[in-house]
Chains A and B, each alone.
Chain A
């Protein structure tokens, strides 16, 4: 088992030339059977296993990952964490997540580098400012911090944006959440993996689930590239691949898979000490600890499992960057990449039992699931252990579409590429 990290262990290893660090998690061969098998070793799957073991004493658990830990969207995202949601079902859930983030490094004994540097949502029209005020009021009524800034206040805090006469989308104000921020994505995956492993969870990489074992209608295990594994319960947490795994149980879902790209520039000195979301196009920006500016943009726009992005979105994202911050127009881009998003038909997720006994679903995170990781794992573990949803994920069901209870935060309608 990996040792507990402390100031003392850091100092003594550091001064001793950093030799003698032990493996962070074990590499066990799959056992023939587990109480719970979680498919997908991204943040959500790992967090679920951790909270199953920690909160519910369910320790005979395996997490199966076809590639490497966090190699999916967990390791590809732009790490913005916030809880500015206003639809019933979302508001409390995302706030639970931010609260878990606030104590996550201590809880996991692993530094996830959560930095509450705040987030600005810029407004460019009176209508947008009104909508931001309404959203902020809903947040405050739920005990979540929210502030509304006018143009002068935004200008004072973010002097490097375009406030000129001919700005294409003049900034007239912003909504600000001070407790929002960023974290280090792979550290979160490793932290959950290590903490789950210490509680006895088997983390098995290079193990792709290729089918579901079914007896008398119930799911009783999985077929994998490393053989069959039986399970009392199976939980899916495979993000963009949710439809494929669900189809193995004969389920069709209100989900489409789409590409989202991320971008980083070459490093520069500290400039952006917060997170800024442009209000006129899908674009946001932050600065990493290494100095790169991190950009996020819009979906590529058509169904895809290709995990590589196209050129039009690069142009669109960089045009947005330049419209917002003309001062970075000569900066060079270093890298861009894409992740396969599980876009749901109302933009909100699923943490739920399924119509198939023994099968549980976590998915539909669209492009906002990184911030959700701790609460998602917490609620999914609760749902699997108790066989019913917790109050905080009670509305994240599959049958909300049948009941006319979509949670459509943006009012975009059933168009996944418009969420």
Chain B
């Protein structure tokens, strides 16, 4: 069981959260016509073994989107930050 620390609600079981995937992937601006960038955004991932930035949503708590740094080989992780604060 992962125990994730939500900056709003405190430390909670992973079952209260929903995983949102790789947070290092950035959506291209809607005006970008280069389909290659969209292809990379939708389908391609670094799939790191080790340090991984990822989204979680606290669906059974504050419903905020959060960003977590977690090691995919050991499951060690830091604290969640609000996605709205880490991203401009």
Contact = CB atoms under 8 A, between A and B. Distances in A.
Contact of B43 (A301, A304, A306, A401): A401
Interface residues of A, number: 25
Contacts of B72: 257, 303-306
B22 interface: yes
B87 interface: no
Interface string A295-309: 000000111111000
A243 B46 contact: yes
Contact of B75 (A244, A247, A253, A306): A306
Q: B-side binding surface: helix, strand, loop or mixed?
A: mixed
A348 to B, nearest CB: 13
Contacts of A304: 72, 75
A399 to B, nearest CB: 10
A384 interface: no
A311 B13 CA distance: 11
B11 to A, nearest CB: 16
Given A302-B19, A417-B19, A255 B45 contact: yes
A415 B21 contact: yes
B73 A301 contact: no
A414 B14 CA distance: 23
Contacts of B45: 243, 252-256
Given A303-B22, A304-B72, A253 B44 contact: yes
Given A255-B45, A345-B43, A310 B2 contact: yes
A4 interface: no
Contacts of B19: 301-302, 417
Interface in B2-50: 2, 13-15, 19, 21-22, 35-36, 39-40, 42-49
B1 A243 contact: no
A156 interface: no
Most buried by A among B2, B35, B43, B70: B43
B84 interface: no
Contact of B14 (A252, A312, A345): A312
B74 A306 contact: yes
Q: A-side binding surface: helix, strand, loop or mixed?
A: mixed
Contacts of B74: 306
A123 B88 CA distance: 46
A255 B45 CA distance: 7
A402 interface: yes
Contacts of A345: 42-43
A301 B70 CA distance: 14
B1 A310 contact: yes
Nearest to B50: A305
B43 A243 contact: no
B13 to A, nearest CB: 8
A254 B43 contact: yes
Contact of B44 (A252, A302, A305, A311): A252
Interface string B35-67: 110011011111111001010000000000000
A320 to B, nearest CB: 15
Contacts of A256: 21-22, 45, 47
17 contacts: A247-B46, A254-B45, A255-B45, A256-B22, A256-B45, A256-B47, A257-B72, A302-B19, A303-B52, A303-B72, A306-B72, A306-B73, A310-B2, A402-B36, A414-B43, A415-B21, A417-B19
Given A243-B45, A304-B75, A415-B21, 12 more contacts: A243-B46, A252-B45, A253-B47, A257-B49, A302-B70, A306-B72, A306-B73, A310-B14, A312-B14, A401-B39, A401-B42, A402-B39
